[in-house]
Amino acid sequence: MRVHDALTLPSLAGARAVGAGDMQREVRLAHVVDVPETPRWVTPGTFLLTTGLSWPRTGAALAAFGQDLATCDPAAVVLAVPHFFDAFPPEVAAPLAARGIPTLELPYDVPFAQVVQEVHGHILREQADVLRRSERIHRALTRAALGGSVADVAQTLADGLGRAAVVCSAAGTPLTPGPAPDAGELLAALARPGTGPRAVGGGTLVPVVLRGTREGGVWVAGGDGSRPDGAPDDLAVRAAEHAATVVGLLLLAQRDAEVREARLGYAFVDTLLEGRFTGDPTAQERAARLGFDPDGDYAVGMLVLRDALPLTPEGFAGRERAAQELRGVLSSLGASPLVSVNLNTVWFLLPASVPAARLWARLGWQESATAPGGMVYSRTRAGADALAQGRAEALSLAAHARPGMLRSYAEVLVPRALSGDRNAQTDLTGSLLGPLRGVRGADGLVATIRTLAETGFSQVETAARLGIHANTLRYRMERIEALTGRPLGQPDTRALWWLALQLDALTG
């Protein structure tokens, strides 16, 4: 209760304020003190009742007594007059007023016992009301928790307190709608040690602690019940603390659900990468639930982390963070987060609609000396049956993965072929000659590209050697470009064709 609340009580109806004083000061108890050394018996927040019996009588002594009494920080000092004093001594009132402590005169015939009884009764009623409201909010928050949404918790808290309430993340950003302090203020308040409530932005913030880690907080705005010293009122603290507990339980349940879902996804992706997708109704249902299209076009990607094997506990935690970050990026790009983990790698399926460079840029690991790892990816292939081959391609690139760098299968195909990698040599020749050999007129197209390579891509000499018209040669060249997707006018394409033809000749 406040001093102004006490003055509305019947026993204090005849009280008169003397001088200036803050009537919003909190009253914690009423106490009668008429013994010597009065300041010894006064605690902060005491509504002090006295007849002045033990007070000094000289001006200097009264002034010193007033200074000592003011340091005890009572809520108010009430003197019964006239009896031992005709009026409240100004020597005592002045130092009390300087501290904002109200000084009151009360008719001497008013029983102090009645005042104490009424003040304490009012305090008890206030506390009982806080408990009743807190219990109502407690039950409402518990019901809101069944909805599984932190937004429901924030709205229930706001309705119960009659003021704004917001749930914020560990970064200080609001997770629920409503007015809230600046994210920087919330973050600074969360960074303070301890788990108790703290004042911020004209309200109260209670941290949400999950498994020893601060995962955010619950903030409630200040209201009419806020204490004048800036401390939050009991109801706001009780409600915010319970809301923080409920939010923590919701986050914990959400984390556990995410872990279970991730494990299910890991197993499914492993099935795809190992070529064990059966396509039966159960597999089709799981694929649909996880967002995988068995007939879609996918590349197989792999994040190769810098952590050495065997992984330490910190390495395992870093791998989970990388997998979680990758799932978030894939989801933000409109792709299903089809991810799995193994040793110090994170595997994922990249739809053809999502460019690998875009995902890499969104991940933010590029060209960073402290990047958690590098990324490699295979060629895009159609259908679930081709994913095992994509996995083999991505796995062959593991040695070329460098932290902060993005590498594709096509990018390192030539260096691998030149180093004697038979698989790379086969892929290189197959990627260029394969499309030509699979169409009508294949012999003419292959003969044309061989002759072009032998003549240094001289169209005049090639047409003469093949005995064909220049227009026929240009037509064949256009077909070759269309089938392979590589323009013959570029020097790197010509060099690639020369290498592919040499390798093809070596393999017969």
Question: Is residue 259 domain-resident?
Answer: no
Between β-strands 373-377 and 297-305, what pairing exists: parallel, antiparallel or unpaired?
Answer: antiparallel
- CA distances to 30, 76, 78, 118 from 115, rounded to whole Å, are 8, 13, 11, 5
* Residues 162 and 205 grouped into a single domain: yes
**pLDDT at residue 358 in the model:** 92
**pLDDT at residue 413 in the model:** 66
CATH number of the domain encompassing residue 81: 3.40.1390.20
How far from the centroid of its chain's Cα atoms is residue 283's Cα?
Answer: 33
Q: Which of 151, 136, 201, 142 is nearest to 172 (CA)?
A: 201
Which pair of structure tokens corresponds to residue 8? 């509305």
Strand partners, 406: 375
* Residues 214 and 311 grouped into a single domain: no
Read off the amino acid at residue 411.
E
Kind and range of the H or E element at 342? strand 339-342
- CA distances to 32, 79, 85 from 53, rounded to whole Å, are 12, 10, 9
* Residues 385 and 450 grouped into a single domain: no
* Residues 235 and 170 grouped into a single domain: yes
CATH number of the domain encompassing residue 491: 1.10.10.2840
Tens of each residue's pLDDT in the chain, 508 residues? 899 999 999 999 999 999 889 999 999 999 999 999 999 999 999 999 999 999 999 999 999 999 999 999 999 999 999 999 999 999 999 999 999 999 999 999 999 999 999 999 999 998 888 778 778 887 888 777 777 688 888 888 888 888 889 989 888 888 888 888 888 889 888 888 888 888 888 888 999 987 777 888 999 987 544 444 444 477 888 888 888 888 888 887 777 766 666 677 788 888 889 888 888 888 888 888 888 999 999 999 999 998 888 888 888 888 888 998 998 999 999 999 999 988 889 999 999 999 999 999 898 887 666 788 889 998 888 988 889 988 988 887 777 778 888 888 776 666 666 666 677 777 778 777 888 888 888 888 989 988 998 888 899 999 999 899 999 999 999 998 888 888 888 887 888 888 888 888 877 6
Q: Give the span between the Cα atoms of 411 and 393, in whole angstroms.
A: 12
Q: What is the domain extent for residue 137? A: 131-253
Mapping DSSP to helix (H, G, I), strand (E, B) and coil, where does residue 268 land?
helix
* Residues 286 and 398 grouped into a single domain: yes
Q: Give the span between the Cα atoms of 15 and 107, in whole angstroms.
A: 7
Kind and range of the H or E element at 249? helix 234-273
Is residue 245 within 8 A of residue 216, CB to CB? The reply is: no
Is residue 185 within 8 A of residue 202, CB to CB? The reply is: no
Question: Is residue 258 domain-resident?
Answer: no
* Residues 165 and 77 grouped into a single domain: no
Question: Is residue 78 domain-resident?
Answer: yes
* Residues 237 and 345 grouped into a single domain: no
* Residues 247 and 291 grouped into a single domain: no
Question: Is residue 459 domain-resident?
Answer: yes
CATH number of the domain encompassing residue 307: 3.30.70.270
pTM for this entry: 0.47
The total number of structural domains that make up the chain = 4
Which pair of structure tokens corresponds to residue 172? 């200080």
Question: Is residue 414 domain-resident?
Answer: no
CATH number of the domain encompassing residue 204: 3.30.450.40
Name the one residue in this structure whose structure tokens are 């062959």. 396
* Residues 196 and 292 grouped into a single domain: no
Question: Is residue 63 domain-resident?
Answer: yes
Question: Is residue 234 domain-resident?
Answer: yes
Q: Give the span between the Cα atoms of 268 and 286, in whole angstroms.
A: 8
* Residues 400 and 435 grouped into a single domain: no
* Residues 353 and 439 grouped into a single domain: no
Question: Is residue 265 domain-resident?
Answer: no
* Residues 316 and 430 grouped into a single domain: no
DSSP symbol at 226: -
Which pair of structure tokens corresponds to residue 260? 């279970």
